[in-house]
Structure 1
């Protein structure tokens, strides 16, 4: 039986709880796609260059999915999907995105 208090009661905890409850083995590392959205192509380039230099796979496209933030950047990190690790990496992404006018827009991965 799943207990509601085994993950923090926040957005990442909710996602991880749903993943676990659907049968995902959260102890297995996998590629996790973190999306950060931006207003301008120049900011996308600066952000992408930063994380590319750190060895991450990066992709960018003008999707317009988020109103007022037409550019999506996906940073791929291979990791075990723990609440602490995901939250810490989102904070790292946001610390680089904020001065460029960007913001986190979620993460996702395939079930293991």
Structure 2
């Protein structure tokens, strides 16, 4: 299979999506993609979490015990399409900045099936 740089540009997002496709993941099927925003303190993380909930986003909020940072994970059920991922990254970056947070990337479970259709889940971070 030859890489289509229109569909899989040569950057982090394109490389992860290309690797998922190369591994046999069906990118035309919706996945639950997890986007993360990091915060230095609980108060700003909670304010951002309330904003995202008001935007009808499915989220989780937790504190990393090692770094004491707070993280919001936003769960978006979507087909892993490059332009849609980039658009959401821009939106979450803007929101993170407005609440003194920092966008921290995305990831999702890749569903790869071998010849016997056995599920071989692997995590694909970006």
TM-score normalised per structure 2? 0.80
Give a deviation string over 1:39-83, Cα, whole Å, max 9, x none. Answer: 111111111111111211111111156x6x711110011111101
Consecutive unaligned residues in structure 2, runs of 5 or more:
112-126
3-state DSSP class of the match of 2:80? coil
Q: How many residues align?
A: 110
Q: Report the aligned-residue RMSD.
A: 1.7
> How far off is 1:89 after superposition?
0.5
Quick one: distance in 1 between partners of 2:44 and 2:59?
14
* Partners of 1:2 and 1:21 within 8 A in 2: no
* Cα distance in 1, alignment partners of residues 59 and 15 from structure 2: 26
SS in 1 for 2:90: helix
List gaps (5 residues or longer) in structure 1: none
Write the mapping of 1:47-86 to structure 2, written as runs, cut at 5 A: 47-63=48-64, 70-86=69-85
TM-score (normalizing by structure 1): 0.89
Tell me the equivalent position of 1:94.
Answer: 93
Higher fraction of helix? 1
What is the CA–CA distance in structure 2 between the aligned matches of 1:50 and 1:98, rounded to whole Å? 13
1:2 deviates by 2.9
Moved over 4 A (4+): none
Secondary structure of the equivalent of 2:25? coil
1:2 aligns with 2:2: yes
